[in-house]
Each structure stands twice: as structure tokens, then as C-alpha cells.
């Protein structure tokens, strides 16, 4: 099957056309600056990247341009749109309604509208992508894959906040967790790559990218994760604060004469390692080189990040009463061996030992712990598009 994977943001759209049999990416790219001016990036194996500037007042023009590029006589990946068998859509928030990917139908669209309040920046854009694809590709089956779905197996004790329970019942305030497609993909890959028993395994996945989260996966099911009602919770991230005393919101608001929204803007965009480093960067490559050149703030920012990752891993060892494997993934998790080592130094009490030669490699699935390590530590590159493609095929063929 040929599956088009669509990840629609508010002013951008990423796409991949995947052959599900070979799992090869036939073409991929993105549309940027939708609603501003418009730019299409198109890549096909063996060809130079094509960049086309063209007006994209709405997502409709953007998706139409993607479809035109895919069937282009010279550079297209298919002869006709009829070759595209299904579309898989990334959807950020599925609330409590979706514990797995599901076929797009009217009921799903209505449910997504209902939980848009929980992800006001993302879900409306995801919905537009679904509607436009339905219009431009009538009759093609579509599947929604949710960032929150994998975490729906968390028990009440993990997902409830200790506030009056009516607020959970009335307003659905609880921990949902995000990056679920990645946590699901990486935990499954880790279990099969390491030869663990899927029904009797304890895996901790550290998804460390610009946004970062950790999950505890027991017997293949998520039992806790570090993000919350929104993706602001948990670890310190590129520009996000992660967890802090909720009283900081009011305290800082008074000091800066800002309302809650104004403070949250700071916690989302100006905090994390970016804020701690006094604006050196949110990019770990820049921070590492600044720290190596003696920048104290950059050094401390990295230490805060490592400390939060390590202490969250420790919490999840307790949540599962043990751990068989720790998997690192996403931009930092896959490429920054120094961070992996720094995190694992805190885990000596578990008998974790890193093989620095293996840890220096990157790019593929890799065990980076020594044979006598108390816990297996590995790097597993994430592939959310492939995960969406696999789910889409499974649901369409069901
Ligand atoms: P997201 O998808 O959340 O935007 P990514 O998973 O692409 O983020 O991760 C982006 C981060 O990965 C960047 O902030 C950068 O610091 C880090 N990163 C990428 N490559 C490297 C590298 N070679 N060494 C260190 N950090 C890297």
C-alpha cells in the first residue's frame, strides 16, 4: 500500500509518502508559511530537493500543491492520485476518547472538535488537514493517530492531579501525555531489538528533542509519562520550563504585571535551557560548545536538563519496581552521546555501565551499555511517520 502521512501544524504541514510493503519513503517534504505567503519543499530519493515559492492562503492550497508535486510528470512519486491507498493524519490530542489510532469518520471529527479546547494550537490545524484531504481525495480511507493515545493505559494514580476530583470530571483536567506515537514506536522497537519478552518487560523511553518527555512502559503498556494536560509539564526542555511550583505563575505575574497567559508564554517560549542559559540557545549543539568555551550559564542549563532526565528515570524505576531497558531517542537522545553519559552517571546505583565506544556511534539502533551493565541502555531512532503508516495500514486492512 502507498500511504500519505500528513502532520498539519497551524502554519506548516509535513508529509511523507511511504510504501508500506518496503517501508521506503517515496517522497517527503513540507509546506511552510501557510497563510503568510507559502513555500513547498519536496524531496524524492535520488533527486535534488525542490523548493517552490507559491501562494498558500490556506491549508487547501498547500495540500493541493503537495498532491500536484506527488503526481508531477517529471519528479512525481506516483503516476496518479489513485495510487495513494490511504492517508494517516497525526492528531495531537485525542482526549480520553482515543486509546489507539482509529478510522476518520464523522464521530471522530466531532470528538476532535470537542477536545480542541485541550490543544487549541494543534487540534484545529489537524482537523483542517483532515477536512481538506477528505475534500481533495474523496473516498480514500483516512486514519487519525493521536499523540495522547499510547498514554491512555496509565492508571488513575498516575494520571490524576491532586486537585478536587470534580475538575477532572467536569473539565477533564488530568495528565494526558504527548509524543505517544514515538514512545509507542520506540518501546516496541527496543523490546524486539533487545529480545525482551513483550509481556514481561519494563522499559523507560527518553524522548529528548526540542520538546522532551519520558515514559514508563510495563509489558508494552504506558504506566506513566512526564508531560501532562499540556506539553509544558515534566522535563526542562529547549524553551519550556517543565515542572515548577504552580504558585510561580501568580508570583511572577504580579512581579511582571502579566496575566496567567502572559506568564505561560514565558514558561513555554523563554524558559528551559534557553532561559537558563540567558538566551545562548535552545539547541544542544550551541549550548555544549558554549559550555566548553567556559559559559557558566550554558553549563548549568545542561546540568539542569541532565538532572531532570535522570531523576525522572529514577521515579519511573520506582513506578515499575524495576527496569530492564532504557531507550534514548529524538534529536538529543539519538545524537548527543555526552548527554546520555551524563544521565547514566546518575544511574550507577542500578548498575548501569556505558560502553563509550558504542555510545560515540549514532544513526542506528545501538546497545550502548556494557554486557555486564545492570540495565540495558540503547539508542533507538524514532520514526513517527513510519509508526503512523503502520497504524494506518493495520486499521484500513482490519
Ligand atoms: P523536535 O522534533 O522536538 O523539534 P528534535 O527531535 O528534532 O526536536 O530534536 C531537536 C534537538 O536535537 C535540537 O535542539 C538539538 O539540540 C538536538 N540535536 C540534533 N542533532 C544533534 C547533535 N548532533 N548533537 C547534539 N544535539 C543535537
The answer to whether 260 touches 268, Cβ cutoff 8 Å, is no
Cell 502572559: give the residue.
262
Q: Is 334 labeled as ligand-binding?
A: yes
What does the pLDDT look like over 127-147, one tens digit per residue? 999 999 999 999 999 999 999
pLDDT of 120 reads 83
Q: Averaged over 147-171, what is the pLDDT?
A: 98
Q: Name all domains of the chain by residue range, CATH numbers in brackets.
A: 2-146 (3.30.420.40), 197-379 (3.30.420.40)
Using the mean position of ligand 1's atoms as its centre, give its distance from the Cα of residue 131 in Å. 32
Measured from the Cα of 362, ligand 1's closest atom is: 23
Q: Is 178 labeled as ligand-binding?
A: no
pLDDT of 300 reads 98
Q: Which of 190, 188, 177, 268 is nearest to 227 (CA)?
A: 177
Q: What is the chain's Cα-based Rg?
A: 21
Question: Band of the pLDDT at 118, cuts 50, 70, 90?
Answer: confident
Average pLDDT, the chain: 96
Measured from the Cα of 330, ligand 1's closest atom is: 6
Task: Give the angle 241-312-231 at the CA atoms, nearest 5°.
Answer: 40
Residue 147 designated active-site: yes
Using the mean position of ligand 1's atoms as its centre, give its distance from the Cα of residue 238 in Å. 9
Q: Is 72 labeled as ligand-binding?
A: no
Residue of 147, 331, 362, 382 to test ligand 1 pocket, by largest number of atoms within 8 Å of CB: 331
Q: Is 14 labeled as ligand-binding?
A: yes
Residue ranges of E strands in 45-95: 50-53, 86-91
Question: Band of the pLDDT at 121, cuts 50, 70, 90?
Answer: confident
Using the mean position of ligand 1's atoms as its centre, give its distance from the Cα of residue 256 in Å. 32
The Cα–Cα gap between 116 and 225 comes to 21
Q: Averaged over 206-228, what is the pLDDT?
A: 97
Looking at residue 139, the DSSP 8-state letter turns out to be T
Q: Averaged over 230-244, what is the pLDDT?
A: 96
The Cα–Cα gap between 272 and 373 comes to 32
Q: Which of 72, 45, 66, 43 is nearest to 54 (CA)?
A: 66
The answer to whether 222 touches 201, Cβ cutoff 8 Å, is no
Which residue(s) pair with 225 in the sheet? 215
Residue nearest to atom 21 of ligand 1 (CA): 335
pLDDT above 80 for 166: yes
pLDDT of 237 reads 97
pLDDT above 80 for 362: no
Measured from the Cα of 286, ligand 1's closest atom is: 16
List 37, 147, 245, 364, catalytic entry = 147
Question: Band of the pLDDT at 122, cuts 50, 70, 90?
Answer: confident
Using the mean position of ligand 1's atoms as its centre, give its distance from the Cα of residue 211 in Å. 9
Q: Averaged over 76-100, what is the pLDDT?
A: 96
The Cα–Cα gap between 222 and 235 comes to 18
Using the mean position of ligand 1's atoms as its centre, give its distance from the Cα of residue 178 in Å. 17
Residue nearest to atom 23 of ligand 1 (CA): 335
What does the pLDDT look like over 56-67, one tens digit per residue? 999 999 999 999
Measured from the Cα of 382, ligand 1's closest atom is: 6
Question: Band of the pLDDT at 183, cuts 50, 70, 90?
Answer: very high
pLDDT of 45 reads 85
Q: Averaged over 312-335, what is the pLDDT?
A: 98
At 307, list the grid cell.
538532572
Contacts of 149 (CB under 8 A, 6+ apart): 94, 98, 99, 100, 101, 180, 181, 184
The answer to whether 87 touches 4, Cβ cutoff 8 Å, is yes
pLDDT of 363 reads 80
Q: Which residues line ligand 1 (CB under 6 A)?
A: 209-211, 238, 282-285, 330-332, 335-336
pLDDT above 90 for 322: yes
Question: Band of the pLDDT at 361, cuts 50, 70, 90?
Answer: confident
pLDDT of 115 reads 86
What does the pLDDT look like over 28-50, one tens digit per residue? 999 999 999 999 999 998 899 99
pLDDT of 373 reads 98
Question: Band of the pLDDT at 10, cuts 50, 70, 90?
Answer: confident
Tell me the percentage of the chain whose pLDDT exceeds 70.
100
Q: Is 191 labeled as ligand-binding?
A: no
Amino acid at each position: 500500500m502507498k500511504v500519505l502521512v500528513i502532520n498539519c501544524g497551524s502554519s506548516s504541514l509535513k508529509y511523507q509518502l511511504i510504501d508500506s510493503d518496503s517501508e521506503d519513503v517515496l517522497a517527503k517534504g513540507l509546506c511552510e508559511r501557510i497563510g503568510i505567503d507559502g513555500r513547498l519543499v519536496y524531496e524524492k530519493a535520488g533527486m535534488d530537493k525542490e523548493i517552490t515559492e507559491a501562494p498558500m492562503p490556506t491549508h487547501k492550497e498547500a495540500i493541493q500543491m503537495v498532491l500536484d508535486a506527488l503526481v508531477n510528470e517529471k519528479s512525481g512519486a506516483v503516476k496518479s492520485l489513485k495510487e495513494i491507498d490511504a492517508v494517516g493524519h497525526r492528531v495531537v490530542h485525542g482526549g480520553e476518547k482515543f486509546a489507539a489510532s482509529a478510522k476518520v469518520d464523522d464521530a471522530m471529527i466531532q470528538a476532535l472538535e470537542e477536545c480542541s479546547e485541550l490543544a487549541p494550537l494543534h487540534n484545529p490545524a489537524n482537523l483542517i488537514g483532515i477536512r481538506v484531504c477528505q475534500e481533495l481525495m474523496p473516498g480514500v480511507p483516512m486514519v487519525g493517530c493521536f499523540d495522547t493515545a499510547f498514554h491512555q493505559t496509565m492508571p488513575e494514580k498516575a494520571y490524576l492531579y491532586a486537585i478536587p476530583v470534580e475538575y477532572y470530571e467536569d473539565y477533564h483536567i488530568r495528565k494526558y501525555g504527548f509524543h505517544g506515537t514515538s514512545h509507542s514506536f520506540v518501546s516496541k522497537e527496543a523490546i524486539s531489538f533487545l529480545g525482551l519478552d513483550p509481556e514481561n518487560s519494563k522499559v523507560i523511553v527518553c524522548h529528548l528533542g526540542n520538546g522532551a518527555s519520558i515514559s514508563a512502559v510495563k509489558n508494552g503498556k504506558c504506566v506513566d509519562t512526564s508531560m501532562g494536560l499540556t506539553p509544558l509539564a515534566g522535563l526542562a526542555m529547549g524553551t519550556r520550563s517543565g515542572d515548577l511550583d504552580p504558585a510561580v505563575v501568580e508570583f511572577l505575574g504580579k512581579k511582571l504585571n502579566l496575566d496567567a497567559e502572559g506568564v505561560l508564554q514565558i514558561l513555554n517560549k523563554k524558559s528551559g535551557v534557553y532561559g537558563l542559559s540567558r538566551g545562548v540557545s535552545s539547541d544542544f549543539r550551541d549550548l555544549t560548545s558554549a559550555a566548553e568555551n567556559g559559559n557558566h550559564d550554558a553549563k548549568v542549563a545542561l546540568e539542569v536538563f541532565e538532572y531532570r532526565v535522570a531523576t525522572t528515570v529514577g521515579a519511573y524505576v520506582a513506578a515499575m519496581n524495576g527496569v530492564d531497558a532504557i531507550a534514548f531517542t529524538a534529536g538529543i537522545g539519538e545524537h548527543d552521546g555526552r548527554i546520555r553519559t551524563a544521565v547514566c552517571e546518575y544511574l550507577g546505583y542500578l548498575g548501569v555501565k556505558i560502553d563509550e565506544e558504542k555510545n560515540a556511534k549514532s544513526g542506528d539502533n545501538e546497545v550502548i551499555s556494557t554486557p555486564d551493565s545492570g540495565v540495558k541502555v540503547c539508542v533507538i531512532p524514532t520514526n513517527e511517520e513510519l509508526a503512523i503508516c503502520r497504524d494506518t495500514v493495520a486499521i484500513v486492512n482490519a
